[in-house]
Amino acid sequence: MTDQPQIKQIEDTTRSHTVVSVDAMGGDNGPATVVAGLARCAKKDPSLRFILHGQASVLTPLLDRRRLGDVVELRDCAGVVEMADKPSQVLRSGKDTSMWSCIEAVRTGDADVAVSCGNTGALMAISMIRLRKVDGVNRPAIACLWPSRNPSGFNVMLDVGADIRADEHDLLQYAMMGASYARNGLDLETPRVGLLNVGTEEHKGRAELKVAHELLRRAAKKSKLDYVGFVEGGDIPSDKVDVIVTDGFTGNVALKTGEGTASLIRDFLGKAFRHTPLSRLAALLALPSLRRLARRIDPRRVNGGVFLGLNGTVVKSHGSSDVLGMASAIHLASRLSQSDFNRKLAKRIATANELAADLDKEES
């Protein structure tokens, strides 16, 4: 951050509100989209307060235009983390960036949660260095919400890109963290947890998956979750499971494949309905149903991957987020904060480690 004074300070009395720290400079669509998403959330929930990080010369006119001065504190930062920047580079020379300042506000307790749509690798690196991992966590994970046939409309999947590796104990921790997220994010009392594999048969899969399967099956008896066993790729959007556990490599490939497939289907439907005059008429008749479908699978409504396993809640919004997507990420962050999510998550991790230790003793 620069040594320039803060442009606008939130009054100390507002600390009783949920304060969301927002990186304004990281998205593909620019600061105007971030501020518009913030304004949308502020209008919907007047109790929220914000700390906005970025270049004051750019952000001040945007805030003035929307009259957000009473709910937003602006912290002037000269630097910007670009999408092509390497995490190691940002850690060495990124202390003056909006992303660093955004995470620092959570570390110092000025804000409750952080939201950024910038470089994922850099955001995770800064978050790990400044917030540190929760005691007992080996590898943090990124959890996302996936459209599904469940009554809630979504399933939780993790890890979707924090770390490409995960051993059996990591997968057990992911299951506990994912279950905690499902309880607080989807209001599920006893989430059903599945372990992603190439088949549901117990003899299939890598060695660490087989061990994790046994750990989860035995841990479920001592913890408040329902372990349904191995699940396959086709089960990710199903009503068979609420939480899908996998390593970051597999999860990220599945996530990007799902996004690409949804885009492909949308394009194919558009071409099909424009193909002939009759099909265009059919499109008009089907328009209400198509709009319901579009809303049902709209990724902007569940935009935001949550970094799990850190001493602070960080939500990673999609880099290409529009106003609705940004507002959804901020809303998710505020909801998790208001549910005291991070404290509950730390408790679940401690339980997972105790279970793993007890199971190891039983085997020795």
Bigger pLDDT: 354 vs 328: 328
Least confident of 69-83, 118-132, 186-200, 310-324: 310-324
Per cent of the chain over pLDDT 90 is: 40
Residue 236 domain-assigned (yes or no)? yes
- Residue 337: the pLDDT is 85
Q: Kindly state whether residues 109 and 46 are assigned to the same domain.
A: yes
Categorize the per-residue pLDDT at 295 as very low, low, confident or very high, splitting at 50, 70 and 90: low
pLDDT of residue 222: 72
Between 127 and 264, the higher pLDDT residue: 127
Number of domains in the chain: 2
According to the per-residue pLDDT averaged within each range, which of 30-39, 133-142, 254-263 is highest? 30-39
Q: What percent of the chain has pLDDT over 70?
A: 90
Position 264 confidence tier, pLDDT thresholds 50, 70, 90: confident
The pLDDT assigned to 3 comes to 38
- Indicate whether 33 and 159 sit together in one domain: no
Regarding whether 140 and 127 lie in a shared domain, the answer is no
Of 131, 149, 176, which residue constitutes the final position of a domain?
131
pLDDT at 203: 84
Mean pLDDT of the chain: 85
- Specify if 330 maps to a domain: no
What pLDDT score does 351 carry?
Answer: 74
Higher pLDDT, 185 or 329: 329
Give domain status of residue 313, yes or no.
Answer: no
Which whole number is the average pLDDT over 14-23?
Answer: 80
**pLDDT of amino acid 6:** 37
Q: What is the CATH number of the domain that holds 54?
A: 3.40.718.10
**pLDDT per position as a tens digit, 235-249:** 999 999 999 999 999
Domain that holds residue 141: 136-303+339-364
Residue 277 confidence (pLDDT): 84
Same domain, 124 and 144: no
Q: Which band of pLDDT confidence, cut at 50, 70 and 90, is reported for residue 325? A: confident
- For residues 287 and 157, membership in a common domain is answered with yes
Report whether pLDDT(8) > 50: no
* 65, 84: one domain: yes
Average pLDDT for 200-205: 86
Q: What is the 3-state secondary structure (H, E, C) of the chain?
A: CCCCCCCECCCHHHHHCCEEEEECCCCCCCHHHHHHHHHHHHHHCCCCEEEEEECHHHHHHHHHHHCCCCCEEEEECCECCCCCCCHHHHHHHCCCEHHHHHHHHHHCCCCCEEEECCCHHHHHHHHHHHHCECCCCCCCEEEEEEECCCCCCEEEEECCCCCCCCCHHHHHHHHHHHHHHHHHHHCCCCCEEEEECCCCCCCCCCHHHHHHHHHHHHHCCCCCCEEEEEECHHHCCCCCCCEEECCHHHHHHHHHHHHHHHHHHHHHHHHHHCCCHHHHHHHHHHHHHHHHHHHHCCHHHHCCEEEECECCEEEECCCCCCHHHHHHHHHHHHHHHHCCHHHHHHHHHHHHHHHHHHHHHHHC
- Is residue 215 situated within a structural domain? yes
Q: Pick from 131, 154, 172: which residue ends a domain?
A: 131
Poorest-pLDDT segment among 5-9, 97-101, 296-300: 5-9
> According to the model, what pLDDT value does residue 303 have?
63
Query: Across residues 336-358, what is the average pLDDT?
Result: 77
Q: Is residue 122 part of a domain?
A: yes
Confidence of residue 55 (pLDDT cuts 50, 70, 90): very high
Are 43 and 112 in a shared domain?
A: yes
Q: Do 120 and 141 have their domain in common?
A: no
Same domain for 113 and 1? yes
241 in a structural domain: yes
Shared domain for 176 and 275, answered yes or no, is yes
- Is the same domain home to 113 and 234? no
Tell me: do 243 and 145 sit in the same domain: yes
| Residue after which a domain boundary falls, among 74, 109, 131 | 131
pLDDT score of 135: 84
